[in-house]
Amino acid sequence: MVDVQQQVQAAIDELVASGAEAGLQVAVLHEGRVVVEAVAGAADADDAKRVDPSTLFFAASTGKGVATSVAHVLVERGDLSYDQRVADVWPEFAAHGKDGVTLRDVLVHTAGVPGLWPDITPGDLGDWDRVCAFIADQPPW
């Protein structure tokens, strides 16, 4: 039988050794059970802390696929419309002329609000109110 844990560990060790990655972690769940938990490399730029299972990583765009799928399902069900204004459900977003931005604009990346502040930290990402306030207050690019 193939040991998936060993295969994944070898693959990520190779990525770190080659310089393609500085540090990473992989977790695989199957039917609600962790079947792989592998870590490799450095958790910081100084190579002072090694990655471990509790290391936090930025996962900037990993939720987009799920969020987009949910939006499409809600449109299909009639609960949302691609032409619905974001400000209809999030009034603060209308600041700085964004009142006409629609769900369609968000989904095709034309809302004009492409990012967060440059020095954002993992702790900041967990502050829902701060992140939402920042996005709402951004003038469109």
In a domain, 104, yes or no: yes
pLDDT (0 to 100) of residue 124? 85
pLDDT (0 to 100) of residue 58? 72
Sign of CA pseudo-dihedral 43, 49, 53, 55: negative
| Whether residue 114 sits in one domain with residue 95 | yes
| Whether residue 73 sits in one domain with residue 40 | no
The letter for the amino acid at 26 is V
- Which residues of the chain register pLDDT less than 70? 1-2
Q: In this predicted model, what pLDDT tens digit does every residue of 112-126 receive, in sequence order?
A: 998 888 888 878 888
| Whether residue 90 sits in one domain with residue 44 | no
| Whether residue 127 sits in one domain with residue 71 | yes
pLDDT (0 to 100) of residue 2? 67
pLDDT (0 to 100) of residue 114? 85
- How far is residue 6 CA from its own chain's centroid? 27
Contact (CB, 8 A) for 136 and 109: no
Enclosing domain of residue 15: 1-57
Contact (CB, 8 A) for 81 and 121: no
pLDDT (0 to 100) of residue 44? 83
In a domain, 141, yes or no: no
Give the largest Cα separation in the chain, rounded. 60
Report, in this order, helix, strand and coil percent for the chain, each rounded to 5.
Answer: 40, 15, 45
Contact (CB, 8 A) for 99 and 87: yes
Place of tokens 């449109």: 75
In a domain, 82, yes or no: yes
pLDDT (0 to 100) of residue 115? 84
